[in-house]
């Protein structure tokens, strides 16, 4: 086993420019960092938009339930949140929804 020496010099015959990432490595790393920042911002916007749309839909359903007294069906074939066909209070999607195995 060899121990590292305290001398930070390169072995004879090695060029310092060939063992460092240099300008090209810095630019590649900078590009990846900027790309990740843009992706995170875009993902945050999309998640926020979906969350807001779900809240609006839930408020609409609650208003309809409070005014009519019955649970309206949802467009994708499932029942509204909190509504169960067997009255157990467990929310289960109805078969044949847009994400079911029958959708090809």
| pLDDT tens for the chain, residues 1 to 104 | 566 665 677 778 877 777 788 899 999 999 999 999 999 999 999 999 999 999 999 999 888 888 876 665 655 555 555 555 555 555 555 555 566 555 55
Distance CA 22, CA 18 (A): 8
Question: Does any domain span residue 100?
Answer: no
Where are any strands of DSSP class E within 15-100? none
Report the pLDDT value the prediction gives residue 20, as an integer from 0 to 100.
80
φ, ψ for residue 56 (rounded to 5)?
-65, -45
Distance CA 47, CA 57 (A): 15
Question: Does any domain span residue 78?
Answer: no
Strand partners, 7: none
Give the domain extent around 56. 36-68
> What pTM, to 2 d.p., does this model score?
0.47
Q: How many domains does the chain have?
A: 1
């Amino acid at each position: 086993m060899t121990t590292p020496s305290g001398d930070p010099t390169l072995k004879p015959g090695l060029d310092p420019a060939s063992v460092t990432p240099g300008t090209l490595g810095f630019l590649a790393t900078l590009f990846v960092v900027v790309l990740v920042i843009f992706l995170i911002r875009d993902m945050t916007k999309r998640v926020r938009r979906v969350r807001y749309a779900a809240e609006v839909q839930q408020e609409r359903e609650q208003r309809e339930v409070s005014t009519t007294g019955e649970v309206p069906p949802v467009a994708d074939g499932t029942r509204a949140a909190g509504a169960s066909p067997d009255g157990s209070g467990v929310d289960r999607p109805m078969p044949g929804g847009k994400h079911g195995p029958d959708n090809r």
